[in-house]
């Protein structure tokens, strides 16, 4: 695993770990998606290890489905208690979950990741790009071929967001990797409801009127949301962290 830590690294991350994982339930019955076992460890452990290698030392977990199981894991995994766990009593959508978690952030900017996706980006480079552009949100973009499962993002020459496109087939495209650098105060200043989609009601609604950028990083990416990719993770993650 690449280690890029330097003084510009954002040190706080929000992990969205409240998902049920409907498409994955046949493979992981009775488990929240982030706790899906990969080579004997919850997938969440791989995400946390990656973030720690990148200089993250404080975590905010947004929890929902079977949150007690995740909290028990965190209690043992992070004995230094450098985290907060926020439980949604009712599902708030990705946007509502991020908004709630941002209320607990201590820094000006946070990294936001999904609990079912590992995108091995250079976080200090993303953070430096984000801050130097005075961005409200910077989306980590992954070049991919034969795309039909993910939303596609187009960027201008200065890397500002040009458009978000619906899921459909593309021979090659930049996908939204589900990893963001986010300016907390600017995001919280938006007139957003308690429950909303981060992708639809924030990214797609505000990219034309706010400082929103995309940074392309062609690094390892896996989303365990479907059984095929969950099975692939069993093999690939053996070597990624050795």
pLDDT average, residue stretch 74-103: 92
At 134-188, the pLDDT tens digits run 999 999 999 999 999 898 999 999 999 999 998 889 999 999 999 999 999 999 9
Q: What is the dihedral of CA 18, 19, 24, 27, to 10 degrees?
A: 20
Question: In the structure encoding, which two tokens stand for residue 227, read together?
Answer: 């059984």
The radius of gyration computed from the CA coordinates of the chain, to the nearest angstrom, equals: 17
d(CA 34, CA 20): 9
How many alpha carbons fall within 13 Å on the CB side of residue 7? 0
The angle formed by the CA atoms of residues 103, 106 and 108, to the nearest 5 degrees, is: 95
Q: Would the pTM of this model clear 0.95, i.e. be above it?
A: no
5: confidence class by pLDDT, cuts 50, 70, 90? very low
pLDDT at 242: 53
pLDDT average, residue stretch 74-92: 89
**Which of 6-15, 50-59, 174-183 is predicted with the least confidence, judged by mean pLDDT?**
6-15
Give the rounded percent of residues in the chain with a pLDDT score beyond 90: 77
pLDDT at 80: 79
In three state form, how does the secondary structure of the chain look? CCCCCCCCCCCEEEEECCCCCHHHCCCCCCCCHHHCEECCEEHHHHHHHHHHHCCCCEEEEEECCCHHHHHHHHHHHCCCCCEEEEECCCCCHHHHHHHHHHCCCCCCEEEEEECCEEECCCHHHHHHHHHHCCCCEEEEEEEEEEECCCCEEEECCCCEEEEEECCCCEEEEEEEEEEEEEEHHHHHCCCCCCCCCHHHHHHHHHCCCCCEEEEECCCCEEECCCHHHHHHHHHHHHHHCC
pLDDT average, residue stretch 73-87: 90
Domains of the chain: 12-140+178-215 (3.90.550.10)
């Amino acid at each position: 695993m690449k280690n890029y830590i330097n003084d510009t690294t954002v040190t706080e991350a929000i992990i969205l770990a409240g998902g049920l994982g409907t498409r994955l339930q046949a493979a992981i019955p009775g488990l929240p998606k982030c706790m899906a076992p990969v080579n004997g460890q919850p997938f969440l452990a791989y995400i946390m290890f990656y973030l720690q290698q990148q200089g993250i030392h404080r975590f905010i977990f947004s929890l929902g489905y079977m949150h007690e199981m995740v909290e028990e894991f965190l209690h043992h995994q992070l004995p230094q208690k450098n985290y907060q766990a926020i439980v949604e009593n009712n599902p708030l959508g990705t946007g509502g979950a991020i908004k709630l978690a941002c209320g607990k952030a201590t820094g000006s900017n946070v990294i936001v990741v999904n609990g079912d996706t590992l995108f091995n980006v250079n976080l200090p480079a993303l953070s430096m790009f984000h801050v130097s552009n005075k961005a409200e949100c910077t989306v980590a973009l992954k070049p991919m071929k034969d795309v039909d499962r993910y939303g596609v993002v187009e960027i201008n020459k200065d890397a500002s967001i040009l458009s978000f496109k619906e899921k459909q087939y593309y021979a090659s495209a930049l996908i939204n990797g589900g990893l963001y650098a986010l300016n907390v105060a600017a995001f919280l200043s938006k007139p957003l409801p308690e429950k909303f989609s981060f992708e639809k009601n924030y990214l797609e609604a505000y990219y034309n009127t706010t400082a929103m950028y995309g940074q392309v990083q062609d690094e390892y990416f896996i989303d365990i949301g479907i059984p095929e990719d969950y099975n692939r993770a069993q093999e690939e993650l053996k070597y990624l962290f050795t």
